Structure 1
Amino acid sequence: MSTNQNNITSTTPPARAGQGRVVILGAGESGVGAAKLAQQKGFDVFVSDFGIIADQYKLALEKLNIPFESEKHTEELILNATQVIKSPGIPATAPIVKKLVAQGTPVISEIEFAARYTDAKMICITGSNGKSTTSLLTYHILKNAGLNVSLAGNIGHSFAAQVAAESYDYYVLEISSFMLDDMFDFKADIAVLLNITPDHLDRYDYKLENYAASKMRIIQNQKADDVFIYCADDEESLKALANISPLAKTFPFSITKNIDTGAYLEENTIHILTEPNKELTMSISDLALQGKHNIYNSMASGIVAKVLELRNDTIRESMGNFKNIEHRLEHVAKISGIDFINDSKATNVNSTWYALESMTSDVVLIMGGVDKGNDYNMLKDLVKSKVKAIVCLGKDNKRIHDAFEDDVEVIVNTFSAEEAAQIAFHLAKRGDAVLLSPACASFDLFKNYEDRGNQFKAAVREL
């Protein structure tokens, strides 16, 4: 066990250098991308997926003549690997992973592997909430400024596949805690930590401090000329930082207090200052992204842009004309004076809190799905003040009923997006909003949150 300069603990042996046998566990976007890059670099490559491999990825592997297996892990084809690249979705507790670790085989992420083969600057964004929006906004600003930049990680196309095929100067990488768990030598040139709130605790022994420690790996290996951007208002981030001394230059951001070097909100104006006499100011009314949580996201992206010495006019223009991602507070339609909003990407309680906080009308809330040990208490005040009815969308809705039965008059169970949209429409009146913001994962009734959001949008358009 070794501890790096930031007091972040690393618990796996470093990967061995040189060609050898690379086994990839998981044949999704990241796995197939890693297979392409590994093959290009001269490794003997094998891909194994315990689930069913999607047709598009099967075809990609067949085209490259990369051997693979589906719906099983054959130990004699895996345990002889020089190194293993693991999909973020596979937990460390999976039997095959435990056997690999026990015998000393390095198990790493696609990000860790691909970073070895590029000299591009890494802008890495993590957090329980807002990382997709902030990653896309940061990418939008950098691209508009004319930088040779791409987007990867937990969003967009595989980082490894892009490293194999393209040559970029900058990557904006959305990084999940699952990815961070399998990153050891990787270094972020610019690291952004938006917030830490309870999420995926089932992967962290239901301990928030374990999850927080995973998030703090975003700054491992950083040096004095690197940059760390974090939210000075986020209690859990500050707790996690209390025992760590980042070597990088730090730039906090806050909406509650003035910051000397970083970003802060004063009245309705954002101030971003990374160097003396080089301040950017912007009215929050000019931001494309509205709501308190999006002020934080815009501040983080703005600090990245200022650190890279982009022009203030370019930053303001980009933060003013950005269009948010699909399934994140996406306006679907206005029917009979009722706004329908798709926030299917809200797969945890904190994301739903942010969505409700941004609502300015009465809400019929559609929520539910696979509960990851959610604590709904943080939603109770917002539900009392803004939500007139809850439409549950999931196989097991008991915990939602238990949490909110005293706070709203109507809680209804539904088992399809079509049924949920129809009932919500009948419960709402002109001037209300119907908000799909589930606070839960989608896998009980849908393939993923995109499928849930797309089915909801299709159902709304049929009303």
Structure 2
Amino acid sequence: MKIVVLGGGESGCGAAYLAKKRGLEVFLSDKSAIKDNYKQFLLENEIEFEEGYHTEEKILSADWIVKSPGIPKKAEIIYKIQEKGIRISSEIEFASEFTDAKIIAITGSNGKTTTTSLVYYILKKDELNVGLGGNIGYSFAKQVADENYEYYVLEVSSFQLDDIQNFRPYISLLLNLSQDHLDQYNYNYEEYALAKFRITENQENDNFFIYNKDDEMSKSILEKLEIKAKMIPFSTKEQLSEGGFIEEDQIVVQLKDKFSMKIEELSLLGTHNIANSLAASIAGKILDVNNESIRNSLMTFQAVEHRLELVTEINEVKYINDSKATNVNATYYALESMKTPTIWIVGGLDKGNDYTEIEDLVKRKVKAIVCLGIDNHKIINFFKEKKEFIYDTSSMKEAVKISKSLATKGDTVLLSPCCASFDLFKSYEDRGGQFKEQVLKD
């Protein structure tokens, strides 16, 4: 069987490595330049590759193509592959065919990275033989090639789910839905939501689907789909006979037995993180992690970098890095959790954002808006009649300098951009890193 991998990043190199290790003929092609570390990896493992262009003849002679989630569905080469009827899979689909491990797959518009990291932390602390991968950490495929894990916790994006055929997690978890990446889904929210729901399409009745009972779009989709997996809900708004919920000042999971702990003991702050903690606890209970172990994990888990990350406190002003908030709904959760007057740094590459969702929160919680991007006119036009203080900046240095000058004792400076980072930065990590660097400068 001839495997062609499109994309020479973490997932692509991992998939090529797994194919090579399993004795399959493999060729990797990347239309852009491949980073030096990945190029070295390919050379060391004697994997044939090309960069800077696609040799169509080689690609279209494949039996199976593994596609990087970063390659747009509308790319010309994808059309040509589809015309020839060649199977196209994501790395998670490809790698899952070479392992019998139980997979816990987590998706949603917001909170994926935090919840994936939390589930992994719960299982790891309970000494399960578990790996972490997907949209986070090291390549899932490379781990399948080299490790012998009994469980994998995977963060899964809609782009990865677009390219599955047989992917069947033991536990699938859909945290929430909000309008995101609509440019890749014909500006159709339901089309995007259905892509997320593909996480459960191959599950059978011996599998589990954890879902958010409070999420309006999820409710709408569930009325149309037939889910075979055992469905377990969580809610922060109502008490449930089975699943996860809030009871007075506690989170509760009612499954095989009852697990509960005080909300104030959770290490993660904010209503959205209560929901994330409930979802993660349900996954732990399904996998027979004992209550004391779950409680200990929820008390000691540290938030992931770039997601409501407290950078420092200077002159009684808190600086919070939420660079991973690349859509409006993610910023909604960030603003909702603010307890002090907030200087809000926002902007970047707009993905069709509708700011009405956060309008009320901005009115109530935001002291000043500092726009950070090449083109900030949409944000400025939306908020100019609603906020007196709005500043237009085009560098992190300038944005942080202005924010520091505006902040007084007891305030919070929050980087929560609502937008993608690619206008001024290499990635959201680069954006968050530059924010931290500028904040910590004298």
Relative to the length of structure 2, the TM-score reads 0.99
Cα deviations across residues 224-245 of structure 1 (Å, max 9, x unaligned)?
1100100100001111111112
Which of residues 203, 206, 212 in structure 1 aligns to 2:193? 212
Match of 1:9 in 2: none
1:431-442 alignment to 2 at 5 Å?
A: 431-442=410-421
Q: Distance in 1 between matches of 2:264 and 2:385?
A: 36
In the alignment, what sits opposite 1:129?
110
Match of 1:462 in 2: 441
Equivalent residue number for residue 251 of structure 2: 270
Q: Percent identity?
A: 53
1:30 partnered with 2:17:
no
Shifted more, 400-409 versus 136-145: the winner is 400-409
Name 1:451's counterpart in structure 2.
430
For the residues of structure 2 that align with 1:110 and 1:335, how far apart are their CA atoms? 43
Match status 1:393 vs 2:372: yes
Residues 33 and 161, structure 1, Cα contact 8 Å, conserved in 2: yes
Task: Tell me whether 1:341 sits opposite 2:320 in the alignment.
Answer: yes
Residues 317-357 of structure 1, C-alpha deviation per residue, up to 9 Å, x if partnerless? 00000001000011111112111100000011100000000
Is 1:223 the equivalent of 2:207? no
Partner amino acid, structure 2, of 1:93 = K
Q: Which moved more, 1:315-324 or 1:405-414?
A: 405-414
Matched with 1:106 is 87
| Among 295, 305, 320, the residue aligned to 1:316 | 295
Letter in 2 for 1:460: V
- Secondary structure (helix, strand or coil) at the match of 1:270 reads strand
Match of 1:426 in 2: 405
Gaps of 5+ in 2: none
Q: Note the alpha carbon deviations across 1:412-443, whole angstroms, 9 max, x for none.
A: 11111111111100011110000000000000
1:359 aligns with 2:338: yes
The 2-side partners of 1:307 and 1:345 are apart by 29
Residue of structure 1 aligned with 2:352, choices 366, 373, 378 = 373
Measured in 2, the distance between the counterparts of 1:62 and 1:297 equals 41
Residue of structure 2 equivalent to 1:405: 384
Shift of 1:21: 1.2
- Are 2:63 and 1:51 aligned? no
Residues of 2 paired with 1:183 and 1:84: CA distance? 12
The CA deviation at 1:93 is 0.8
Deviation at 1:288, TM superposition (A): 0.6
User: Partners of 1:286 and 1:74 in 2: how far apart?
Assistant: 56
Q: Which residue of 2 aligns with 1:382?
A: 361
- The answer as to whether partners of 1:196 and 1:237 remain within 8 angstroms in 2 is yes
Cα distance, 1:247 vs structure 2: 1.2
Pairing 1:178–2:159 present: yes
Q: 1:202 aligns with which of 159, 170, 183?
A: 183
SS of match in other structure, 2:27:
strand
Residue-pair matches, total: 442
Q: Over residues 81-116 of structure 1, what are the superposed CA-to-partner deviations in whole Å (9 max), with x where a residue is unaligned?
A: 111000001121110011001110001000101011
| Partner of residue 84, structure 1 | 65
1:279-330 deviation digits (Å, cap 9, x = unpaired): 0011100101111000000000000001111110000000000001000011
Partners of 1:159 and 1:69 in 2: CA distance: 23
Give the one of 177, 184, 188 matched to 2:169.
188
- State the partner residue of 2:150: 169
Structure 1 distance, partners of 2:52, 2:344, is 37
Asked if structure 2 preserves the Cα contact closer than 8 Å seen for 1:255 and 1:266, the reply is: no
Match in the other structure for 1:232: 213
2:231 aligned with 1:289: no
With the length of structure 1 as denominator, give the TM-score of the two structures: 0.95
Which of 266, 278, 292 is the equivalent residue of 1:299? 278
Question: Tell me, what secondary structure is at the counterpart of 2:233?
Answer: strand
How far the C-alpha of 1:35 sits from its partner, in A, is 0.6
What amino acid is aligned across from residue 9 of structure 2 in structure 1? G
- The SS at the match of 1:434 is strand
How far apart, in 2, do the equivalents of 1:270 and 1:209 lie? 31
Q: Considering only aligned residues, what root-mean-square deviation do their CA atoms show, in Å?
A: 0.7
- Mapped to 1, the partners of 2:34 and 2:274 lie a distance apart of 40
1:259 aligns with 2:243: no
**SS of residue in 2 equivalent to 1:252:** strand
Q: Which residue of 2 aligns with 1:12?
A: none
Residue ranges of structure 1 left out of the alignment (5+ in a row): 1-19
Q: Return the offset for 1:42.
A: 1.3
Helix, strand or coil at the partner of 1:315 = helix
Alignment deviations for residues 100-137 of structure 1 (CA, whole Å, 9 cap, x no partner): 01110001000101011111000000000001000000
